[in-house]
Chains A and B, each alone.
Chain A
């Protein structure tokens, strides 16, 4: 291979690495924490092509879901405390009841979370909705123990 061809290949390789590094440096992590609801809404809008109206609707869905989520959290906390107490008292009947209650709550939470995801997905264009559900469902799927949740809501027409 001629020397200058080899030199060009090496230069191109170095340039590619430099391009990679420069882009990584330029794309620093967002200043806003990902845990903020606003940042998450911004990400949803950007990543899944939400227009202004759809973003507002997703924000409304999120606000409506908050108290539901909080009540589930509280119920789970109570059931967990009851289970701990039953174990501490070595009360088999109370323990079984607490475990059954926890399982029931777990199922309710799972279905509620999945329903919320589907409601959010319904605000997206169909292809983006499918991508959104593919991305999100496995992240909350560990809480689903049985099938039977309502069918996927049809996605919004483009």
Chain B
């Protein structure tokens, strides 16, 4: 670990851990300490490439399935709403439009009697 140069911080560290080594360390020593800490981690996710992805796969799969359910529901809801709007709009149009409300049978002019 790097050693803080601030005396108050050094005092704080010393108080927290009287045995802490506060001597300055080189970059290599620092990197080595970090590497050793990673290797000693109690989870496998930090130890090899792709391990984190493998660990997160069940979560990602569950999220994908949930998202798919949500998308399916959203599509169904949108279609249902469109269908409902269509039904009610047509019914409302019939209610306010005399030509739809009381449909008048078209007059078939060709059926009219013709004088010879």
B104 within 8 A of A: yes
Q: How many residues of B contact A (CB 8 A)?
A: 45
Instruction: Determine whether the beta carbon of A40 is less than 8 Å from that of B95.
Output: yes
Cβ contacts under 8 Å, A29 to chain B: 84, 87
Which residues, 17 to 63 on A, are CB-close (under 8 Å) to B?
17-24, 27, 29-30, 34-35, 37, 39-40, 43-44, 47, 62
Instruction: Determine whether the beta carbon of B94 is less than 8 Å from that of A35.
Output: yes
Q: Interface on chain B toward A: helix, strand, loop, or mixed SS?
A: helix
Instruction: Determine whether the beta carbon of B68 is less than 8 Å from that of A13.
Output: yes
Chain A contact residues, CB within 8 Å of chain B: 4, 8-9, 11-13, 15-24, 27, 29-30, 34-35, 37, 39-40, 43-44, 47, 62, 65, 69, 72-73, 76-77, 80, 83-84, 87-88, 90, 106, 109, 113, 116-117, 135-136, 139-140, 142-143
Return B108 CB to nearest CB of chain A, in Å: 8
Chain B contact residues, CB within 8 Å of chain A: 57, 60-61, 64-73, 75-77, 79-80, 84-85, 87-102, 104-105, 107, 109, 111-115
Q: Interface on chain A toward B: helix, strand, loop, or mixed SS?
A: helix
Between A23, A37, A43, the greatest number of chain B beta carbons within 10 A of the residue's beta carbon is seen for A23
* Nearest CB in chain B to that of A91: its residue: B112
Known: A12-B65, A47-B88, A140-B93. A80 touches B76 (CB 8 A): no
Cβ contacts under 8 Å, B101 to chain A: 69, 73
Partner of B76, one of A24, A116, A143: A24
Known: A73-B101, A139-B90. A23 touches B80 (CB 8 A): yes
Known: A43-B84, A80-B104, A136-B92. A11 touches B76 (CB 8 A): no
Partner of A140, one of B66, B71, B77, B97: B97
* Nearest CB in chain B to that of A44: its residue: B92
Instruction: Determine whether the beta carbon of A76 is less than 8 Å from that of B68.
Output: no
27 interchain pairs (CB within 8 A)? Answer: A4-B57, A15-B66, A16-B71, A18-B69, A19-B70, A19-B71, A21-B76, A23-B73, A23-B76, A34-B91, A35-B94, A40-B92, A44-B88, A44-B92, A69-B96, A69-B98, A69-B101, A76-B98, A90-B114, A109-B97, A113-B97, A117-B96, A136-B92, A139-B90, A139-B93, A140-B97, A143-B99
